[in-house]
Structure 1
Amino acid sequence: MYRIHRYVFRQVIIPLLVTLGIAALLLLLERMLRIFDFVINEGGPFSVVWRMLGSLLPHYLGLALPIGFFLGIQLGFRKLSQSSELDAIQSSGIGLHRLLPPLLGLALVLSCASILLTGFLQPYSRYAYQTLAFDVQSGTLGASIKAGTFNKLGSGLTLRIDGSEQGGDIMNGIFIERIASTGRVTAVTARTGQFHTTGDLGHLVLRLEDGILVDLDQRETNPRVLTFRSHDFIISLPHAEQFRERGADQTLEMTLPELYTSYQAGGPHANAAKAAFHARIVRALMLLAIPFFGIPLGVVAKRTTGSTGMFFGILLMLVLHKVLEFGEIYAAMGRGSVYAFLWLPLAIFAISSLRLFYISDSKVGGSPLQWLENIWTAILDLASRLRRKEPRTAV
């Protein structure tokens, strides 16, 4: 049995890891486009995109874990069934229930991983993502200077460049306009320029080369004009705002112990904290029922090429995900109990999964989705007959 358990584990773990990686990668790629658009529009540095994507990885792993686990079991047992290896195992007196220990052990490990992801890693990674987004919007991470456009750098300061070189370190064709609160206007043009930091974190020095400075004071008749070979233009940086603390009115950014303490203490956010706490526990326990759900849908008849079990399972997993999602929202709004909106769907899923597993394990040739396969086959046969009866048009 030990060798059989190891073999079954290998057949399941490989598609599980592949599916989990592909699902997380697809979700990240979909979000990457929006992050690129956000960072470019806000003028943030390109490197922050990868940091924001890394902060989203625990969130997408938590989403992909149930569906990845189901597909790993379903594909593994489908392969065993179609290659007649499952028949050989069962003919030696080993039923499906005796193949459960490695899958239940894997389910327990993944359930603990889900608690770690949703209960502890995701709150901190969400907060890190929101912090990075705030820093990009506020300019704390630094803003890129776009060539050919007028860039606002603080109050009353406008900068335009024709282009840049050496990775953006040296700017060419510079125009600067500063309008003071007193109405005094300073305009500068220069051939090249380069930013330099100082000991004062509140200011930057823009060292300009080969340019002209025009200073116009409304109290004077004529402006002052200065031609220079090198000139240091001081730019005051805006005061960086502080981002809010983690978990401030955000249950998604609270860990499991913090959620439990919050809803036990009561207050205006007690319902939301209670719903989030129970939802994370329910999603972790749901993984323990997936082996009983995935095995029956993976066992198929010989020479069967249909994927009815896979499509039905994925559809049901998505429906359950949405039911739990809406249940958490309604429970957070105080419109019902968490036991009715969260624990009841989990109980129905677990009981249904046990029933499907019982049919496959205890009944000879038992196929829990035979009725669905018969309906699908009848539809395909009807479509084939209608296609054959279509009259041929003369050419």
Structure 2
Amino acid sequence: MRLIDRYILHQTATPLGVSLTVVLAALVLERILRLFDLVAQQGKSFGPVLTMAMSLVPHYLGLALPAAFFISLFLVSARFSGDSELDALRGCGLSIRRFARPLLGLGLVLTLFSLALYGYVQPYSRYAYRAIFHAVTNAPWEASVVAGTFIDAGGGYTLYADRMDVTGQWLENVFVHERQDDGTEIATTARRGELELRGDDGQISVLLQDALQIRSVAGKRDAALAFDRLMLGRAFTLKSPLFRNRGDSEREMTLTELRDEWRNPESKLPHSRLKAEFHARLVRSLSLLVLPMLAVPMGMAAKRSFRWQGIAVAAVILLLYHHAVQLGESLAHLGRADPLYSLWGPFALFAAGCGALFANTERRPGANPFEALFERIDDIVRPIRRILPRRRVPT
């Protein structure tokens, strides 16, 4: 690798690392807040939240990588063009294609990384997240009671106790509400209660002393019964329901498994869904290889005065391409279109457009079509800027 290649890659590494970290952190933190809210509503422990968030890192990394890669390429190209470094390189006999060669090589490396990420890492991490999520949302009551708090014990039972001992086994001033499947409601109060765990079968029972029970049945008079000792009629198990095996969803299959499964005539999943998932992962990975051919011409046109215009136009282009791929994947998923047309078609058009733009910039560097577009956007926005009040800088 020549010195100029190392220099270009070094200049690209910093914005790539920063933008990737910022985008990835924003996505993961947003999901962590949602998970904390979900766990709080379920009344469960917050311990698994970070584990679930770590399981989602490969998924969000796949979302953040294309945006971060394009932003870094755009900023580097704009800086080289704005600081006249690109003109100096061209004056030394190096073409724009030569300038973009290390960036295309970096795109190839990230494409291979994305194939491994989309094809083999994300299926396992997505299954791990769903398994932990299932364990959290379906976890049984662990026989823990907080004084002065209503506890949903599952199975239609709600428990409340004013006080308890340090072990959490003996309760005072207990209230238990039970709602049965037929609509019957049973409210029980007791002076004392005991949570008992039977180790032989791993079940929990609630033994109440000096209890008063009121049973309400629709269409009948309420019945009140008093008990010296009362064992609740339903035992609570500590066993969590098992989660399904990996592979029941096409998104949890690796690329190799998807290929083998859609060739299997006895597959439980529709072949259209398997093929759509397989081709969509390939298209998203290979799209990284095309981004340098779009980012370099846009960065050259943006320079210093048109940075935000370039980022705005790039966001619109990439968003339209992303939705086109999503639409093609949905049509292929439903079996209404062949993935060769609905997925590879948008990719071919996008790649051809980027390649033609890059080739035109290589042949005629002074006739970059984005320069006129950015100037037109600036002409439209300039009168709006004059109307808006300006921020005063304190002296």
- Same fold? TM cut 0.5: yes
For 2:169 and 2:18, locate their aligned partners in 1 and report how far apart those are by CA, in whole Å: 46
Q: Report what 2:375 is aligned to.
A: 374
Q: Give 1:19's aligned amino acid.
A: S
Q: CA deviation at 1:80?
A: 1.8
Q: Give 1:261's aligned amino acid.
A: D
Superposed CA deviations along residues 257-289 of structure 1, whole A, max 9, x for unmatched, are 111112112455100000100000111111111
Quickly say closer, same or farther: Cα 1:197–1:383, change in 2 above 3 A.
same
Q: Report what 2:336 is aligned to.
A: 335
Q: Report what 2:250 is aligned to.
A: 251
For 1:67 and 1:141, locate their aligned partners in 2 and report how far apart those are by CA, in whole Å: 43
Q: Does 1:97 align with 2:97?
A: yes
Q: Report what 2:33 is aligned to.
A: 33
Question: For structure 1, which runs of at least 5 residues remain unmatched after alignment?
Answer: 227-233, 389-395
Identity %: 35
Q: 1:214 aligns with which of 189, 194, 211?
A: 211
User: Secondary structure of the equivalent of 1:307?
Assistant: helix
Q: Report what 2:129 is aligned to.
A: 129
Superposed CA deviations along residues 208-257 of structure 1, whole A, max 9, x for unmatched, are 9xx95438799xx984547xxxxxxx963255322222121x11111111
For 1:68 and 1:60, locate their aligned partners in 2 and report how far apart those are by CA, in whole Å: 12
Quickly say closer, same or farther: Cα 1:80–1:164, change in 2 above 3 A.
farther
Q: Report what 1:61 is aligned to.
A: 61
Q: Report what 1:79 is aligned to.
A: 79
Quickly say closer, same or farther: Cα 1:381–1:334, change in 2 above 3 A.
same
Q: Give 1:256's aligned amino acid.
A: L
Q: Does 1:345 align with 2:346?
A: yes
For 1:370 and 1:297, locate their aligned partners in 2 and report how far apart those are by CA, in whole Å: 8
Q: Give 2:53's aligned amino acid.
A: L
User: Secondary structure of the equivalent of 1:300?
Assistant: helix
For 2:102 and 2:143, locate their aligned partners in 1 and report how far apart those are by CA, in whole Å: 52
Q: CA deviation at 1:205?
A: 8.0
Q: Give 1:323's aligned amino acid.
A: A
Query: Comparing 144-153 with 370-379, which one deviates more in the overlay?
Result: 144-153
Q: What is the root-mean-square deviation in Å for CA atoms of aligned residues?
A: 3.8
Quickly say closer, same or farther: Cα 1:106–1:179, change in 2 above 3 A.
closer
Question: For structure 2, which runs of at least 5 residues remain unmatched after alignment?
Answer: 216-223, 389-395
For 1:311 and 1:344, locate their aligned partners in 2 and report how far apart those are by CA, in whole Å: 25
Q: Report what 1:262 is aligned to.
A: 261
For 2:77 and 2:198, locate their aligned partners in 1 and report how far apart those are by CA, in whole Å: 65
Q: CA deviation at 1:94?
A: 0.9
Superposed CA deviations along residues 338-390 of structure 1, whole A, max 9, x for unmatched, are 111110111111111112212322214232312312321332455578x59xx
Q: Report what 1:229 is aligned to.
A: none
Q: Does 1:4 align with 2:31?
A: no
For 1:295 and 1:379, locate their aligned partners in 2 and report how far apart those are by CA, in whole Å: 25
Q: Give 1:203's aligned amino acid.
A: Q
Q: Report what 1:231 is aligned to.
A: none
Quickly say closer, same or farther: Cα 1:12–1:176, change in 2 above 3 A.
same
Q: Give 1:6's aligned amino acid.
A: R
Q: Does 1:44 align with 2:44?
A: yes
* Residues 56, 125 of structure 2: 8 Å contact kept: yes
Q: Report what 1:324 is aligned to.
A: 325
Quickly say closer, same or farther: Cα 1:353–1:153, change in 2 above 3 A.
same
* Residues 45, 144 of structure 1: 8 Å contact kept: no
Quickly say closer, same or farther: Cα 1:238–1:312, change in 2 above 3 A.
same
Q: Give 2:26's aligned amino acid.
A: L
Q: Report what 2:70 is aligned to.
A: 70
For 1:224 and 1:137, locate their aligned partners in 2 and report how far apart those are by CA, in whole Å: 35
User: Secondary structure of the equivalent of 1:358?
Assistant: helix
User: Secondary structure of the equivalent of 2:368?
Assistant: coil
1:290-305 superposed matches below 5 A: 290-300=291-301, 304-305=305-306
Q: Report what 1:230 is aligned to.
A: none
For 1:304 and 1:117, locate their aligned partners in 2 and report how far apart those are by CA, in whole Å: 37
Quickly say closer, same or farther: Cα 1:198–1:362, change in 2 above 3 A.
farther
1:84-233 superposed matches below 5 A: 84-140=84-140, 142=142, 145=145, 148-155=148-155, 157-162=157-162, 175=174, 177=176, 188-190=190-192, 199-200=199-200, 202-204=202-204, 213-214=210-211, 223=226, 225=228
Quickly say closer, same or farther: Cα 1:359–1:42, change in 2 above 3 A.
same
Quickly say closer, same or farther: Cα 1:163–1:58, change in 2 above 3 A.
farther
